[in-house]
Amino acid sequence: MQGAACPTRSLCSIPSSCEEVAKMVRSNAAYLLLLVLVGVAIVSSEDTSTTEEPNVDEPEPIIVCTRPGEVYNECGPACGDRTCENQGRADIQCSKQCVQGCFCRNGYVRNKATGYCILPYRCTREA
């Protein structure tokens, strides 16, 4: 890969080492990922593709809960959802710490046997 240049902020110290790095990148996808993660750019006069520093301003991916009756919550209860077995209990102790994940929508409880969120009246039918 002739014509490889060492771009600003690259890990290459001399142009010939950039050629070697570029060869490794082309043959090893995991190495390419590592270079992207550390923000290294590889440029070549023969190839217009580059790896650039990742954009840190991109928003976090949106998490979608796929099971019916579930919603994503960044700060849900650490002890999990109410279940068919404990829905009527008032003595459940749960830490104030919160966890992120998919939780049952308000008014639903988790069926432990199926893992799905259901309306409470369906607990006896689906148990």
Closest CA to 87 of 58, 122, 62: 122
Q: Where are the domains of the chain?
A: 1-57, 70-126
Pairwise CA distance, residues 99 & 113, whole Å: 22
Tell me the whole-structure pTM to 2 decimals. Answer: 0.48
For the stretch 49-82, pLDDT in tens is 555 565 667 666 678 899 999 999 999 988 888 9
pLDDT, tens only, 16-39: 555 655 565 566 555 555 444 444
The CATH number of domain 70-126, selected from 2.10.25.10, 2.30.110.10, 2.30.29.30, 1.20.1050.10: 2.10.25.10
